[in-house]
Structures are given as C-alpha cells and as structure tokens.
Amino acid sequence: MIRYVSSRLVLAVVMVLLASLVIFLIANSVPGDPVLLQLGDLGASNPVMVAAFRHKWGLDLPLWDRYWIFLDGLFHGDLGNSIASRRPVLADIIDYAPATIELASCAFLLSLVVGLPLGIIAAVRRDSWVDHIARVVSLIGVSAPAFWLAFIMLAIFYGQLDWAPGPGRLDPVAFPPDRVTGLLLIDTVLAGDWDTFHDALAHLVLPSIVLASATLGLITRTTRAAMLEALSQDYVRVARAKGLRRFVVVLGHALPNAMLPVVTLGGLAYANLLSGAVLTETIFSWPGLGRYTFQSAVALDFPAITGMTVVIASVYVLVNLMVDVSYALLDPRVVRR
C-alpha cells in the first residue's frame, strides 16, 4: 500500500510541474502585453516607465530564466507576486480559496446526499416513477447551463418568493466573523455567532444548488448505471437466494461493488468544483478562485495565472490520489495487481 501511494505521489509532483510548464509557455505566447493594462494609456507610451515596469516584474528576462525563477520560488513555497494586485500570489489565493472551498464542498455534499440515493433507488426500482424523476433531474442538471440556472434560481427564490437571500456570502450589513479559516460556516461557529452562521448558510443554498446540479446529474446517472450492473451479478442473486433482506443486498453487497466508477467521477467532479466556477461565482458575487483566475487571465497577470495553474493541478492530482487510495480500500485487488 505504501509503495502504491508513494509511486502515485511521485507521479503527482511530475504532473504538477508539467502542467505549470505548459501553462507558463501558453500564457507567455499570447500576443497581448500586461504593460498597457497596468500602466494605462499614458504610462504605456512612456518608454522609461515601460522599461522600469518590465524590469521590476522580470518581463525583460528570457522566458527560461523566468520559468527557472518561478520554479526556484515554487520550491521555497513562493508563487511570486501578482502583477495586478501587487501582492504575493499565495496571499491572493489564500484570500479567495475559502469562499470556493466552502461553496464547492457544500455543492459536492449536496450532490452526494441527493445523487447517490436517487441513483440507487432509480436502479432498484427501475422504470418506476422514482427512476423517471431521477432521469429528469439528471437531464436538467447535466444540460442546464449554470448561468441560466443561477438566474432562474435567483429570480424565483430571491426576487419573487423571498425564500433565499441574494448574491454574496453574507447579508450586506452583517459583520463577518474574525478570520480563522476563512470558511464562514466554521469561523462563525468558532466565534459562537449563530446569527451570522445562519446568514452564511442561507447564502450558500442557492449557489450550492446551482453548482451541484451538473455534478448531481452525473452522480445520479453513474450510480444508477453501476448499480444496475451490480444488481444483475450472480453474487447478488446468491445473496437474495440466501434470504437476505433487500436492504442488505442493495447497500451491503451491490453498492460497494458499484462504487468504483462513482468514486472516480465524484473525485473529478469535486476537483472541478474546487478549481472555481467563474459563472456561478460571478452571478452570485462570490469572491472565489474562479473569478480570480478569470481576472488574472484577462489581465495577463502571468504570476497569478501560473500560480493558479499549480494550485488547480495540485487539487486534481491530490483528489486523484485520494481516489486511487480509495480504490485500494474499496477493492484490495487494485493494490495486488
């Protein structure tokens, strides 16, 4: 098991470095120039200012020197400074990450809580009304664009029915708790501020549903398909023949064997949610990594773009590693092979 995990860890580090190199090359081959955006129209026409700016940000160095400086910083835990915000990229990411982690985790939890049971029941009661509902929910979840769903949800549940609060992480006049983790649900509990906890929770509901919709659809469909296959296996027939209750057969025998594809998909879906959702974050005024990445890309903020790539690649690699490990736990044959 240790060998299995360590070999994947080494592979993970190589993958992150490769991803950073690729994005570094792509970002630097774009014909645009961050100078104009940062110095403005007048500043960009002043050669002295332009030269000073390029020198300050290392834009006058050869590409490979810049990449080497980036790698050197990376090994020392430094992602460089953002050209746009003039702060360390890591500080920016630490500022924005909690909002994304909180939203992504809630959305993922929601899609698991709803998607797994729905998929299981849809498989057990094939072609029943539950199955039909599961199919419709999956279809809407997978096919409805996030921005459309976000507007519809806001217009109905916030604008018309007044059941949910509007965009943002907190009510406009609510005071955020002292920052400990940056996760409002946790920080408010730590501060014992239950009113703000409820407020933060309420603000999470609509964006979580929107973000969860696509993941939920995928998880429901995959669970259903995997369960249908598992339920048709001989060991399930034997278990039934032994007189075990259907409950035990479905959840105790079929489900663990159907989990491999669901875990794979779930892992990727969670990594996808964690890497930020630009549209959902934009519409719900959610200060997360998705918008930060988007703004960095638009401003050609090379250090921020490369730093975010490393973070996103690391998230994917880490989640995949966890998925690999969970394979080994779910199916010991994986390690033996």
Q: For the chain, what's the residue count? A: 337
CA distances in angstroms from 300 to 22, 71, 209, 312, listed in the order given: 16, 19, 32, 18
Among candidate residues 299, 271, 324, 302, the one with its CA nearest the CA of residue 100: 271
For the CA atoms of 206, 207, 209, 211, the dihedral, rounded to the nearest 10 degrees, stands at 170
The reply to whether 257 sits near another protein by the rule CB under 8 A is no
Exactly one of 149, 164, 218, 263 binds another protein (CB under 8 A); that residue is 164
Rounded (10°) angle between helices 289-298 and 89-124: 130
Give the total of residues touching another protein (CB under 8 A): 76
Choices 6-14, 116-124, 183-191, 302-310 (CB under 8 A): range interacting with another protein:
116-124
CA–CA separation, 274 vs 312, rounded Å? 8
| Binding track, positions 209-248, relative to another protein; x by CB under 8 A | x-----------------------------------xxxx
The Cα–Cα gap between 223 and 257 comes to: 11
Distance CA 199, CA 302 (A): 36
Nearer to another protein, 177 or 324 (CB): 177
Residues 2-61 interacting with another protein (rule: CB under 8 A): 30-34, 36-37, 39-46, 49, 52
Tokens representing 11 are: 């592979």
- Identity of the residue, 12 or 124, whose beta carbon is nearer to another protein in the bound complex: 124
Q: Which is nearer to another protein, 123 or 312 (CB)?
A: 123
Q: How far is CA 286 from CA 10, 135, 278, in A?
A: 35, 30, 9
Q: Is 302 in the site for another protein (CB under 8 A)?
A: no
Amino acid present at 213: S
CA dihedral (146, 147, 151, 152) positive or negative = negative
Q: Determine, following the binding rule CB under 8 A, whether residue 287 of this chain makes contact with another protein.
A: yes
The Cβ-side half-sphere exposure at 257, using a 13 Å CA radius, reads: 15
From 4, 54, 58, 117, residue interacting with another protein (rule: CB under 8 A): 117
- Choice from 61, 90, 130, 334 touching another protein (CB under 8 A): 130
Q: Binding of another protein at residue 250 (CB under 8 A)?
A: yes
Shortest distance in whole angstroms from residue 9 CB to another protein: 33
Do residues 283 and 277 touch, judged by C-beta distance below 8 A? Answer: no
Question: Looking at 15-23, 114-122, 318-326, 327-335, which segment touches another protein (CB under 8 A)?
Answer: 114-122
Q: How far is the CB of 334 from another protein (least distance, A)?
A: 29
Smallest distance from another protein to CB 101, Å: 15
Binder among 238, 285, 329, 332 for another protein (CB under 8 A): 285
Among 23, 73, 92, 230, binds another protein (CB under 8 A): 92
Q: How far apart are CA 322 and CA 303, in angstroms?
A: 28
Of 264 and 295, the one with the shorter C-beta distance to another protein is 295
Contacting another protein within 169-208 (CB under 8 A):
169, 171-174, 176, 195, 198-199, 201-203, 205
Smaller CB separation from another protein, 10 or 31: 31
Give the residue with the Cβ less far from another protein, 53 or 316.
53
- Residue 291: how many other CB atoms lie within 10 Å: 21
Which pair of tokens denotes residue 326? 């969970």
Check residue 126 for interaction with another protein (CB under 8 A). Answer: no
Smallest gap from Cβ 5 to another protein, in A, equals 34
Task: Say how far apart CA 280 and CA 288 lie, in whole Å.
Answer: 10
